Structure 1
Amino acid sequence: MTHTLTAADLLDRLANIAPDSPLAAARITRDAATQHIQGSYLALFADDGIDFSLPDRLAVARQVAEWHEDSRLTAHYAGRLSNPDPGTGGSRLQSALHHAERLSRHPSAATPAHLEELRRAGWGPDAIVTLSQLVAYVSFQSRLLRGYRLIAGQPVDNPLPLPVGAAAWRTVGATHGGRPAPHAFTQRELGWEPWLAAKPLKEFTLQQQTTLEHNGHADSDYFRLLGRNLPVLEQRTLTDKGIFYTAGGLARQERELAAAVASKVNGCIYCASVHARKAAQLSKQPDDIQRLLDTPPGGKLSAGQSPRWQAEIDFAAALSATPAVAAPEHIARLRELGLGDLELLDLVQAAAFFAWANRLMLTLGEPFEK
């Protein structure tokens, strides 16, 4: 059966992907990711939620796209707004925008007190989760758009290939819940505790419980917290699987490497621990992975790595910066090393997904030592 991209695919349109191009073919090959990236957009912006109205969602999305300096995405969300000026919103919207800026620019600076500020402004737990998903998704979306345009040879905003180093990260003696907190990036298995109450399994409908159990989420505080907006969580889960658990293209360990790099750039110790460990196991290069994890704030993440890993790390780091600074030179170097359009697509989507994942992990809870 021949598959084609749907005419309604937003990123296909904004990236100006030619229907007969290698990139279009690669996105069709990754049809599960392509379908559920769009499905996530529809789940976040297709209805007018009681707790978080569609105009307010669009106002936040437009501002997040602007903070990421993505002119095309900014114009898209502004075009859906009847009033594109968030300065005219009420105090509740302004509190969401203040929080959204932190999630966009400095997610590792988030604390439980910031969620309490949202609560005082009238945001309940379900709405906070939706807000967090929205900001994180648009952060992901902006990096996908830049990556697609670079692969296709299309112009991008701010095309200079600026260097990107490792970020600083939160170091505290103990978590909000009193557990010992990790002080350094590690390949060890860590725990994660939420700052908002995870929704008890019994409060989901039987059908919703089945969905959570099918995806392996029923026993996870993190996923039952995100389950406060279950349609978005389900689309996000399917997007994740479509990006990381597919055959061919970029080797799985290199996709995991890109996830670890993004987590270093964003300062997310928990996500880095999971995906660095997977990259080390699959590549059988634990020392090289540890060298990446040990990079100090401001340090060059690709130092001491093989030429292929250096190029992949440099690109993933540049795509993960806020705003992103991945440039045509990065793609040219990767092509010189033999990466084709499907492998480049896998690298873009793996790194970009952690603009989404890191922002949820860093702003809804924190890791602890087991």
Structure 2
Amino acid sequence: MTASVRSDSIHSDRLTQPVGATAHHDLLAQLADIDSDSALGEARQTREAATVHAQGSYDAIFAVTGDSQFALNQRFQLAQQVASWHGDNQLATHYADRLRPLPQAEDNVKLQAALTHAERLSFKPASATGAHLQALLATGWSHDDVVTLSQLVAFVSFQTRLLRGLRLLNGQPTENDSEANVPAGVWRTEGKTESGRPAPQAFTQEELKWEPWIPAKTLAEFDEPQQATLARFGHTESDYFRLLGRNLPVLEQRTLTDKGIFYTSGGLPRKERELAATVASKVNGCVYCASVHARKAAQLSKQPDAVQRLLDITPGSVLSTGQESRWQAEIDFSAALSATPPSASAVHIQRLRDIGLSELELLDLAQSTAFFAWANRLMLTLGEPFEG
């Protein structure tokens, strides 16, 4: 069964404390050197749900549970490599420090397959195919561990971008700064999915559906409390979320992070958070995510033509072309933050401050953009969209 899904939306107001987290542990604040009494620290307290559940996602991803064969030393080794690929040496050092007291991971075919998968997710997620997942499975990865592996790579991609945004807002130095405009990325245009369904060949505001390349769990495979968790977030009928439910603690924390970023009052208007999601999806080549969030941005802004102008930008072209000044500045920042490695700079932040964005609005823009480094990489590498 396939299902149409909002690429990462939820519809519950309930927040839960992250499993294994403490109220005082905040890795992002530590690595970005954020004073809780600063304007940025206060903005993050206003967005407490996003702050708490980003940490909760970290805790869940680096917790080996059940019969998983994805060992903790492998997780930290992969996270270190992904952080390095994304240009965040401080985050890479953090993972190296977590790895150091653990036994060295065996360098075998299975680990090399994971590194290949991680490199593809990092640099060219739109190039992924179902055959790539089958190659992972052939080296001994289980369906559940493939999902956890993909979540880990996508999460670290999110971390690196959010950390960069936080450091820029905090006046901290960053690497790979560039004022050059980051262009639209490439996307798949085959016209047919791997199962033979009609596939979109261009970015669109029309509603699309999505099908997985490895099987989603059926609802009957979840026990009663797990079914209740899926139902609480409206995930029961979605192939995508039942696939991510192969690691339900990560899915739960990730969903609550999403809610804390996109479904909060004040700060950046929702239409511009949806715009940021669309921009990231254009950089990464995620037609499905772009269709959902462009449609929402168009509805909320009542500017469908401006949104379509963004969707129509061809690979290699500047994404902010033809937009009004506020959207230009937001698009240029979101695109630069979405690059691999991210290149957003203090110049981008100053432009946004000059047009009047507050600290909370800037935080919302950075978090909305960064989240889609995570969302796109899952959508693009675990399945594909189709029309119908």
TM-score class, shorter: over 0.9
- Tell me if the contact between 1:311 and 1:333 (Cα under 8 Å) persists in the aligned partners: yes
What residue number does 1:289 align with? 307
Partner of 1:236: 254
Which residue of the partner structure matches residue 266 of structure 1?
284
Contact map agreement 1:311 1:334 (CA 8 A) in 2: yes
The CA distance in 2 between the partners of 1:60 and 1:163, in whole Å, is: 30
Instruction: Give the deviation of 1:7 after TM superposition.
Output: 3.6
Contact 2:73 2:103 in 1 (8 A): no
- Choose the corresponding residue for 2:59, options 16, 35, 42: 42
Kept after mapping to 1: 8 A contact 2:44/2:51: yes
Query: Distance in 1 between the 2:45 and 2:100 partners?
Result: 34
Q: CA deviation at 1:84?
A: 9.3
SS at match of 1:197: coil
Percent identity of the aligned residues? 65
Instruction: State how 1:1-370 maps to structure 2 within 5 Å.
Output: 6-47=23-64, 50-82=68-100, 89-370=107-388
Q: Is the 8 A contact 2:185 2:316 kept in 1?
A: yes
CA RMSD of aligned residues (A): 1.5
| Residues 240-274 of structure 1: per-residue CA shift (max 9 Å, x gap) | 01100000000000000000000000000000000
CA distance in 2, matches of 1:128, 1:6: 30
Distance in 1 between the 2:228 and 2:251 partners? 14
Gap runs ≥5 in structure 2: 1-21
Q: What is the number of equivalent residue pairs in this alignment?
A: 366
Q: Describe the superposition over 1:137-165 as per-residue Cα deviations: whole angstroms up to 9, x where unpaired.
A: 00000000000000011101122323200
1: CA distance, partners of 2:373 / 2:136: 22
State whether residues 64 and 70 of structure 2, in contact with CA within 8 Å, keep that contact through their aligned partners in structure 1.
Answer: no
Which TM-score applies when normalising by structure 1?
Answer: 0.97
Report the CA distance between 1:94 and its aligned residue: 1.1
Instruction: Show CA shifts across 1:16-73 (max 9, x none).
Output: 0012100000000000010000000000113466320110000110000000010111
**Structure 1 segments (4+ residues) deviating >4 Å:** 83-88
Contact 2:73 2:102 in 1 (8 A): no
Instruction: Specify whether residues 346 and 39 from structure 1 end up closer, same or farther in structure 2 by C-alpha distance, changes over 3 A only.
Output: same
TM superposition score normalised by structure 2 = 0.92
What SS class does the counterpart of residue 80 from structure 1 fall into?
A: helix
What is the one-letter code of the residue matched to 2:137?
A: R
Note if contact 2:73-2:105 (Cα within 8 Å) is conserved in structure 1: no
Q: SS at the partner of 2:229?
A: helix
Measure the CA separation in 1 of the matches of 2:232 and 2:178: 44
In structure 2, what is the Cα distance between the partners aligned to 1:59 and 1:282?
A: 42
Segments of structure 1 that go 5 or more residues without pairing to the other structure are none
2:9 maps to none
Q: Distance in 1 between matches of 2:102 and 2:204?
A: 43
User: Structure 2 counterpart of 1:16, which letter?
Assistant: D
Code of the residue aligned with 1:204 in structure 2: it is F
C-alpha distance in structure 2 between counterparts of 1:115 and 1:85, whole Å? 27
